[in-house]
Amino acid sequence: MATAYTYESANIRKTWLIMSLFFVFIILVTWIFSRALGNPSILYGGVIFALVMNIFSYWNSDKVVIKMSGAKPIDKATHRELFNIVENLTIATGLPMPKLYIINDHAPNAFATGRDPEHSAIAVTSGLLERLDRSELEGVLAHELSHIKNRDILVSTIAVVLVGFIAIVSDMFLRHMFFFGNNNDRERGGDARLQLIFFVVGIIMAILAPIAASLIQLAISRKREYLADASGALMTRYPDGLANALRKISSYQGELKKASHATAHLYIANPFREKGFRKALGQFFMTHPPIEERIKALEDMGK
């Protein structure tokens, strides 16, 4: 019989498997580009550049996200219940107390950010505080603390940066092909046909790689939500609290005004109402798993 612990363990394994495949994908793309252009330094430079971008983003992403969301710091005097719930959860789990912020928006939502548990923050919307009762709010806050505990901020930051890196490298490759063509001495490698194959594959990869990278990043985001749901249920010992919160959050028909597509994956629920191309493609371009599936998984944990 599945328990919260088995859900958590399965999601951890799946997430790190996807992350490993992501890094392999990065190496494969840069390797093909380096062979197509006959320049091995593209592979080495690309991997080093990706690592540097990750380190920079890891140290600064929390400040950027808080500013982009329009969140404002709050204190215990004005939001006593919120502080009390978070304090109780951190004491029970041994986590340090995160900084707390509020976003003045009627849409119920929340997110966590920070490079590690010692430098973390949780932001909730005013709409969330208005619509949820204590057990539901506790479920949401446990979910966000689980993101902090599981180092999801690190994983999501790496994924977002690598997607951007793939897009940049692919664009540079296509621009080089457009303006300069393939000027390599194909005979120098001893196999002109092999070089031509890499050239064609490189162009195809430059077009498709950014799309594939985005799909991988979205898959990672969805897995982290399942994991945070399971971990949050373990914290509160009451999966129904989070399940009921997700029902109320999903029933709100408006969008979060301050949200952006760059940060949408951080929120407990998608802050947008997908439409058009993204809606037609369904789960492939979803930043979050379907609410119905998350609620069912939580209900199964409570049985």
Q: How confident is the model at residue 139 (pLDDT cuts 50, 70, 90)?
A: very high
Those residues with Cβ within 8 angstroms of residue 270's Cβ, 6 or more apart along the chain or in another chain: 264, 286, 287, 288
Give the angle 214-298-223 at the CA atoms, nearest 5°: 20
- Highest mean pLDDT: which range of 114-123, 171-180, 214-223: 114-123
- The pLDDT assigned to 214 comes to 76
- In this prediction the pTM is 0.76
- The pLDDT assigned to 236 comes to 94
Sheet holding 72-73, edge to edge: 72-73, 99-103, 120-125, 110-114
Is residue 112 within 8 A of residue 98, CB to CB? The reply is yes
- The pLDDT assigned to 1 comes to 46
Quick: pLDDT tens for 194-226: 767 777 777 887 787 777 777 777 777 788 899
Quick: pLDDT tens for 65-92: 888 899 999 999 999 999 999 999 999 9
Q: How confident is the model at residue 281 (pLDDT cuts 50, 70, 90)?
A: low
| pLDDT over threshold 60, residue 30 | yes
Residue numbers annotated as active site:
144
Average pLDDT taken over every residue of the chain: 81
CA 177 and chain centroid, separation: 32
At 95, is the secondary structure helix, strand, or coil?
Answer: coil
